[in-house]
Amino acid sequence: MDYVSALVPPLVMAVLFIGVIVTIIKNQGGANKAKEDAAVDAAFARAEAAKQATADDHRTS
Protein backbone atom coordinates (compact mmCIF):
# COMPACT_ATOMS: atom_id res chain seq x y z
CA MET A 1 0.00 0.00 0.00
CA ASP A 2 2.98 2.33 0.34
CA TYR A 3 3.31 2.48 -3.43
CA VAL A 4 -0.27 3.74 -3.75
CA SER A 5 0.30 6.58 -1.27
CA ALA A 6 3.55 7.41 -3.08
CA LEU A 7 1.84 7.58 -6.50
CA VAL A 8 -1.28 9.54 -5.58
CA PRO A 9 0.28 13.05 -5.19
CA PRO A 10 2.12 12.96 -8.55
CA LEU A 11 -1.00 11.68 -10.31
CA VAL A 12 -3.15 14.41 -8.76
CA MET A 13 -0.61 17.06 -9.77
CA ALA A 14 -0.46 15.64 -13.32
CA VAL A 15 -4.25 15.77 -13.66
CA LEU A 16 -4.36 19.36 -12.35
CA PHE A 17 -1.51 20.39 -14.66
CA ILE A 18 -3.29 18.91 -17.67
CA GLY A 19 -6.44 20.78 -16.62
CA VAL A 20 -4.55 24.07 -16.48
CA ILE A 21 -2.99 23.49 -19.90
CA VAL A 22 -6.38 22.60 -21.43
CA THR A 23 -7.93 25.73 -19.89
CA ILE A 24 -5.14 27.93 -21.26
CA ILE A 25 -5.48 26.44 -24.73
CA LYS A 26 -9.27 26.84 -24.73
CA ASN A 27 -8.97 30.48 -23.72
CA GLN A 28 -6.59 31.39 -26.53
CA GLY A 29 -8.34 33.68 -28.96
CA GLY A 30 -12.08 33.96 -28.78
CA ALA A 31 -14.21 36.97 -27.98
CA ASN A 32 -11.80 38.48 -25.47
CA LYS A 33 -8.69 38.26 -27.67
CA ALA A 34 -8.88 41.86 -28.89
CA LYS A 35 -9.43 43.17 -25.36
CA GLU A 36 -6.52 41.12 -23.99
CA ASP A 37 -4.26 42.21 -26.85
CA ALA A 38 -5.17 45.85 -26.20
CA ALA A 39 -4.37 45.47 -22.51
CA VAL A 40 -0.97 43.97 -23.27
CA ASP A 41 -0.21 46.66 -25.85
CA ALA A 42 -1.14 49.36 -23.32
CA ALA A 43 1.13 47.81 -20.70
CA PHE A 44 4.01 47.70 -23.18
CA ALA A 45 3.37 51.32 -24.14
CA ARG A 46 3.41 52.40 -20.47
CA ALA A 47 6.65 50.51 -19.86
CA GLU A 48 8.25 52.03 -22.96
CA ALA A 49 7.11 55.53 -21.95
CA ALA A 50 8.56 55.05 -18.47
CA LYS A 51 11.83 53.84 -19.96
CA GLN A 52 11.95 56.85 -22.29
CA ALA A 53 11.21 59.24 -19.41
CA THR A 54 13.99 57.71 -17.34
CA ALA A 55 16.41 57.94 -20.26
CA ASP A 56 15.43 61.60 -20.85
CA ASP A 57 15.95 62.38 -17.17
CA HIS A 58 19.44 60.90 -17.28
CA ARG A 59 20.33 62.88 -20.39
CA THR A 60 19.27 66.22 -18.89
CA SER A 61 21.10 65.62 -15.60
Q: Residue 34's pLDDT is what?
A: 81
Q: Residue 61's pLDDT is what?
A: 60
pTM of the model: 0.47
Q: How many CA atoms lie within 13 A of 46 on its CB side?
A: 6
Angstrom distance (rounded) from CA 48 to CA 31: 28
pLDDT in tens, 3-60: 899 999 999 999 999 999 999 888 787 777 788 888 999 999 999 999 888 877 777 6
